[in-house]
């Protein structure tokens, strides 16, 4: 599913083409600012002066001018924690950007990020692009090179390795007034999904004007099912993807691309997070609304293996009881596995509500989440105000460091 911060990062590139005509655009030479250097403090000073400077993979961009033109308003970018460079880097990488959008981003390039000693804060191979303009993203090329040719005469795992498929919409049903499960058919009734646990898939379509719209979603299909893939998607009145897929007739196709993501659950408490393997014995999950979908995948995998030693506590926030998504399946997981605990909080609870009430607080997190430790991790996914203003400050106040939490 698309985490809000990831969508916002993506908008920096995705709307540049749509808000600027070709005749208005003045692309600066790629290396004109190559030798300029900026510290973190200088970027903060720029923002205090009302300018919006951001660093992505050690490259500094001044997107102040773009903020004024953004059709969705400046808050869609300024709501991001612009000092959390690590998160920005990972979320930027995980978003889908066209070559044209990446090229246009260079119009706002101003230099590179350095520490107090003038040392670059990224390695040459960690940059978004090298100075000669060639892409350094070799991982996807390797995945594409290794992608298996699909066989339709027996079971297969189409998304076990990276590839892109055109798949038909075969069913859709509403869970709430604004949340729908969309089911796409795999290449044959015998095909399995094969997506690594914790990864997501990019859905994409092309607008009439030629711009490609793409969003990441985490499947909620039952493990082991064959022939289809389910996505739980929240509908937004002005959301290009959700409105497109909502109006898509049964039998029509969309492009699906994957696997993508910075987290993979290997089983029995072993995770690969940002390419590093971690052993986690106590896992806390804090989800809001449709942010439940990446958590759901991991919960489903653990519930299917009673010998899995990891202990999971989910704190799931919603406005009303009727907004709790996938509730029956979540509570079934807690029955299936003794180490899974489900806790809810509601902004507007009914009179007989026995769980937590109100917004997520530091006290609520302290009471439900495992304390910080080397074998502890907290997963976060939900609306930006909940994550940025409630969850992360509370976790930090309770002693959790950046290594203790992962934001989808």
240 is in an annotated binding site: yes
Cβ 52 vs Cβ 77: under 8 Å: yes
Torsion of CA 181, 184, 188, 189, to 10 degrees: 10
266 is in an annotated binding site: no
Distance of alpha carbon 131 from alpha carbon 133, whole angstroms: 5
For residue 137, give both structure tokens. 């993203």
Catalytic option among 3, 122, 381, 391 = 381
Is 57 an annotated catalytic residue?
Answer: no
* 200 a catalytic residue: yes
Residue 52 appears among annotated catalytic residues: no
Annotated catalytic residue, options 217, 265, 316, 344? 217
The packing angle between helices 4-14 and 85-94, to 10°, is 70
| Residue matched to tokens 């993501």 | 261
Q: What letters, b where the CB count within 10 A reaches 16 and e where it falls short, cover 66-75? A: bbeebeeeee
Q: Tokens at residue 144, please?
A: 């594409």
Is 113 known as a binding-site position? Answer: no
| Pairing label, strands 228-234, 179-185 | antiparallel
User: Does the active-site annotation cover 176?
Assistant: no
Cα dihedral 29, 35, 40, 43 sign: negative
- Cβ atoms < 10 Å from Cβ of 276: 8
Q: Is 242 annotated as a binding residue?
A: yes
Q: Which listed residue (218, 345, 368, 376) is catalytic?
A: 218
**Does 398 appear as a known binding residue?**
no
Q: Does an H or E element contain 354, and which? A: none
Q: Pairing state of beta strands 109-113 and 37-38?
A: parallel
Q: Is 356 annotated as a binding residue?
A: no
| Candidate list 200, 311, 337, 404, residue with the active-site label | 200
User: CA separation (Å) from 132 to 93, 127, 140, 229?
Assistant: 19, 12, 20, 40
The Cα diameter of the chain in Å comes to: 65
Nearby residues of 18 by Cβ (< 8 Å), 6 or more positions away: 71, 209, 211
- 132: region left, alpha or beta (phi > 0 left; psi from -120 to 50 alpha): alpha
Q: Which residues have a catalytic role annotated?
A: 200, 217-218, 381
Annotated binding site: 215-217, 232, 234, 240-242, 293
Annotated binding site for FAD: 215-217, 232, 234, 240-242, 293
């Amino acid at each position: 599913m698309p985490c809000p911060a990831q969508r916002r990062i993506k908008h920096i590139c995705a709307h540049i083409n749509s808000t600027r005509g070709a005749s208005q655009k003045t692309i600066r030479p790629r290396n004109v600012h190559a030798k300029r250097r900026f510290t973190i403090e200088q970027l903060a000073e720029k923002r205090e002066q009302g300018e919006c400077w951001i660093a992505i993979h050690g490259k500094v961009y001044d997107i102040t001018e773009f903020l004024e033109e953004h059709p969705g308003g400046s808050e869609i970018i300024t709501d991001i924690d612009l000092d959390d460079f690590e998160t920005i880097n990972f979320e930027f990488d995980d978003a889908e950007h066209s070559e044209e959008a990446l090229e246009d981003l260079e119009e706002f390039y101003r230099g590179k990020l350095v520490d107090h000693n003038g040392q670059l804060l990224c390695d040459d191979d960690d940059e978004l692009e090298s100075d000669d303009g060639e892409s350094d993203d070799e991982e996807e090329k390797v995945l594409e090179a290794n992608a298996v040719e699909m066989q339709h005469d027996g079971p297969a795992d189409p998304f076990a390795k990276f590839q892109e498929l055109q798949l038909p919409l075969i069913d859709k049903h509403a869970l709430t007034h604004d949340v729908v499960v969309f089911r796409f058919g795999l290449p044959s009734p015998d095909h399995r999904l094969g997506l690594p646990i914790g990864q997501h898939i990019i859905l994409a379509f092309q607008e009439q004007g030629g711009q490609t719209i793409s969003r990441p979603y985490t499947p909620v299909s039952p493990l082991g099912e064959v022939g289809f893939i389910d996505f739980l998607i929240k509908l937004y009145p002005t959301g290009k993807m959700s409105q497109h897929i909502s109006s898509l007739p049964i039998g029509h196709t969309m492009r699906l691309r994957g696997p993508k993501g910075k987290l993979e659950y290997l089983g029995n408490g072993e995770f690969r997070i940002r390419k590093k393997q971690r052993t986690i014995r106590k896992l806390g999950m804090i989800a809001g609304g449709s942010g439940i979908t990446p958590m759901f995948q991991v919960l489903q995998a653990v519930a299917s293996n009673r010998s899995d030693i990891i202990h999971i506590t989910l704190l799931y926030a919603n406005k009303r009881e009727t907004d709790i998504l996938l509730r029956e399946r979540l509570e079934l997981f807690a029955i299936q596995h003794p180490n899974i605990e489900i806790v809810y909080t509601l902004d507007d609870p009914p009179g007989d509500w026995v769980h937590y009430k109100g917004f997520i607080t530091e006290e609520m997190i302290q009471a439900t989440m495992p304390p910080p430790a080397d074998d502890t991790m907290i997963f976060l996914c939900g609306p930006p105000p909940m994550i940025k203003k409630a969850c992360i400050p509370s976790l930090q106040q309770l002693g959790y460091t950046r290594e203790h939490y992962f934001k989808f």
